[in-house]
């Protein structure tokens, strides 16, 4: 069921919002999750690339995630990322499966962007 901005929703599963793995040092917390059933309000809706483009972006982000680059390299990588998104949007028009993603502000103040419809249910 598509949601419009202002719709009340809740998470259908626990959602990890920080990196994987145990705490970096003793006494530091591990990954942070938002609990299933947490309620919030849809604040934005966007169509995004699906299928192959989405897989390519996930792989790209995983490979460069956490690395630090100079300004030129950062700009070049962002341009490359936008080209992948643009190609995915073009292909999505041909029926490769564009996906609707939602931005949700939860009652605890967290805002998650990029949530797919199956992660949400009406509240």
Helices (H), the chain: 51-64, 71-91
Bridge-based pairing state of the strands 99-106 and 111-116: antiparallel
- How many Cβ atoms sit within 10 Å of the Cβ of residue 38? 19
Predicted confidence at residue 102, as pLDDT, reads: 86
Question: Global pTM?
Answer: 0.55
Predicted confidence at residue 101, as pLDDT, reads: 83
| Fold classification of 1-22+29-47+100-123 (topology level) | SH3 type barrels. (2.30.30)
Predicted confidence at residue 98, as pLDDT, reads: 63
Predicted confidence at residue 25, as pLDDT, reads: 65
Predicted confidence at residue 20, as pLDDT, reads: 63
Predicted confidence at residue 8, as pLDDT, reads: 93
How many CA atoms lie less than 13 Å away from 26 in the CB half-sphere?
0
Can you give the residue ranges of every domain in the chain? 1-22+29-47+100-123, 50-97
Predicted confidence at residue 63, as pLDDT, reads: 75
Give the pLDDT of the chain (123 residues) as one tens digit per residue: 688 888 899 999 888 877 666 656 666 677 788 888 999 999 888 776 555 566 667 777 777 776 777 888 888 888 777 776 666 555 555 444 567 888 888 898 888 888 888 888 888
């Amino acid at each position: 069921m598509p949601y419009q901005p202002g719709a009340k929703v809740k998470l259908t599963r626990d959602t990890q919002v920080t990196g994987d793995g145990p705490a970096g040092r003793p006494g530091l917390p591990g990954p942070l999750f938002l609990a299933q059933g947490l309620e919030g309000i849809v604040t934005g809706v966007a169509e995004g690339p699906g299928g192959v483009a989405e897989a390519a972006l996930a792989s790209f982000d995983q490979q460069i995630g956490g690395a630090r680059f100079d300004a030129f390299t950062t700009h070049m990588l962002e341009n490359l990322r936008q080209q992948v998104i643009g190609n995915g949007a073009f292909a999505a028009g041909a029926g490769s499966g564009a996906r609707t993603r939602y931005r949700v502000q939860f009652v605890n103040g967290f805002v998650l962007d990029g949530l797919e419809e199956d992660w949400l249910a009406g509240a």
